[in-house]
Amino acid sequence: MALYSFFVIGLGGLACVIEGYISQQYGAKKTAATALLLSGLCCLLSPLFLIWSSFYAFISFLIFWGLVVVADSPLFSTLVAQNSDAKSKGTALTIVNTIGFSLTIVSIQFISFLQTQIPTTYLFMLLAIGPFLGLRALFKKLNHYGFKIHSFKIKE
């Protein structure tokens, strides 16, 4: 089991590199939005894989989820760095990373608390709140910069 955990967690670093290359082709905003959307879908689909999938389908799902769940963080840092004034870039990055890690800690504590209240099978669906709010904020920002968004598709 430790080896599977290693792959699920360790491949996240590789995903960040791959997402960086993808963002050079399609833009950091679109790539971050895609990562958030896929991460949120994984949250919502988690009961299906927890209940009805085979062991290897479940591990494959976890690897995929591990790939997409970490990919948005460096992309948001990139967006902050690209859109910050040079004098405040370090402060802006510090604030964004602090907020991101704080939200992660609060989410983990929240899920730990709810673990006694909600069946584990459905527990991870609540994590979709984060990607949903992130997408909402990102789409609002994308619209501000002149993007047209229709049915989760971003068009310039």
Distant-in-sequence contacts of 113-116, Cβ < 8 A, 24+ apart: none
Report the CATH number at residue 40. 1.20.1250.20
Determine the pLDDT at residue 152. 46
Quote the domain boundaries for residue 88.
2-155
CA dihedral 144, 92, 14, 101 (to 10 degrees): -100
94, 91, 72: which is closest to 28 by C-alpha?
Answer: 72
Determine the pLDDT at residue 142. 55
Domain count for the chain, please give it. 1
**Chunked mean pLDDT (size 10), the chain, 156 residues:** 86 90 92 94 95 90 92 87 89 91 92 92 93 87 51 47
